[in-house]
Amino acid sequence: MGDRPLRLLIVLPSWVGDVVMATPAIRRIREAMPGIFIGALCRPGIDQLISSQGEGSDLFDEVHVFVPHGMMATKKAAAKVRPRRYDTALLLTNSFSTALTTRIAFIPRRIGYERDGRGMLLTDKVVPPRNDDRSWQMVPAVDYYWNLAAHLLGEPGVDWSVHEPVDCVEMPLTLPDGVVMELPVSDADQTKCDEILAKAGIGDGERFAVLNPGGNNEKKRWPAERFARLADWLHDEHGMRVLLNGSPAESELIETIRSESSSDPVTGPVSLPALGNTLGALKAICERADIMVTNDTGPRHIAAAMGTKLVTMFGPTDPRWTTVPVRTLADGRGSEVVLVADPELPAHETANDHPERCAIERIEESRVRDAVSFLLNANFGD
């Protein structure tokens, strides 16, 4: 084992999905080093994801929230954690600014990947995986973070040669069997979930689906009118209520889908942002949901961590960067169906390099409906 910290600060990624994909590595550290104090440094909103009012998770003993924008952001973040006297920082981020934050916070040991010109700010420079031409090797993010945990623990790192693509959809993982992503659901999260489902008119035991039509990049969004038709089909063919999830900034997109739905206004799709949904409540909602259909965005990872059946559409980004562990169905297959625009893309090419060929609108509605029907009729193996 490496030098054992007494007070460890873990600098969390900015994106929701990346934080969820980092949880196996964080759990590994917690279990390997019982008794140490672990703090988290994260942007606003992420604190709702990893804990809620101090309840529900033992991954962190303390959570520090900082706004990562503005000229003084780095100094303010450093000033927030400096009094806590952390002796080690593990940077799950790749940015120069977060490395600088830990340096000017006077944290003696600073571990992170040597990239973005920040090597001089790190005491432990971990070499990121690259191809022979120096481009970034395609490795799943869960393994990328798992490798950093190994360095902290002084254990063998990830064997990057395992990530030899066999198709254009999934990438082999190095995570041990049984290792999963996790998120806590606090009493506050559950109460908010119950309140939202009641407002949506969904009773105890009633089947419902969550559709997630948004995403930080509009090119990664399956067309809104198709989500509207999917919502109608779920209601008409499967007798399911439909909840439309999104951030407050995506409220207009969700209202567009609701307006294009032909379902009865009372039993048609319901906007979660309009009901005051939060990231904390979404965890509990996913836990109750029968299925989620989503673009490649953060709620996909939340649903995977909560054990929800998933249909995820990718385009024009490549899904193999974010292959994740999911629950297993009775037939041995995973409980997520990943749909790509071009299933015939050669395994050694990446969808990111073919934005037109791999555009998300090339995913046909029939493929999505088939995937949903398969999962709704499948049983879990555990």
3-state secondary structure the chain: CCCCCCEEEEECCCCHHHHHHHHHHHHHHHHHCCCCEEEEEECCCHHHHHCECCECCCCCCEEEECCCCCCCHHHHHHHHHHHHCCCEEEECCCCHHHHHHHHHCCCCEEEEECCCCCHHHCCEEECCCECCCCCECCCCHHHHHHHHHHHHHCCCCCCHHHCCCCCCCCCCCCCCCCCCCCCCCCHHHHHHHHHHHHHCCCCCCCCEEEEECCCCCHHHCCCHHHHHHHHHHHHHHHCCEEEECCCHHHHHHHHHHHHHCCCCCCCCCEECHHHCCCHHHHHHHHHHCCEEEEECCHHHHHHHHCCCCEEEEECCCCHHHHCCCCCEECCCCECEEEEECCCCCCCCCCHHHCCCCCCHHHCCHHHHHHHHHHHHCCCECC
Please report the pLDDT score of residue 265 as a whole number: 77
From residue 108, how far is each of 241, 326, 374 by CA, in Å?
Answer: 53, 37, 52
Burial class of residue 283 in the structure, from the number of CB atoms within 10 Å of its CB (0-12 exposed, 13-18 middle, 19+ buried)? buried
d(CA 31, CA 152): 13
Nearest to 189 by CA among 49, 292, 71: 49
Topology, domain 187-376: Rossmann fold (3.40.50)
The segments of the chain whose pLDDT lies below 50 read 1, 52-54
Give the pLDDT of residue 312: 98
CA proximity to 81, closest of 99, 106, 58, 60: 106
- The distance from CA 265 to its chain's CA centroid, rounded to whole angstroms, is 32
Give the integer Cα–Cα distance in Å for 39 and 56. 15
Structural domain spans, the chain = 7-162, 187-376
- Identify whether the C-beta of residue 94 lies closer than 8 Å to the C-beta of residue 113: yes
First to last CA, the chain: 34
Contact 290, 207 (CB under 8 A): yes
One fold for both 7-162 and 187-376?
yes
A 10 A CB-CB count for 276 gives 12
Confidence (pLDDT) at 1: 46
Q: What CATH number does domain 7-162 carry, 3.40.50.2300, 3.20.20.80, 3.40.50.2000, 3.90.1150.10?
A: 3.40.50.2000
Burial annotation 143-162 (CB, 10 A radius, 16+ → b, else e):
bbbbbbbbbbeeeebbebee
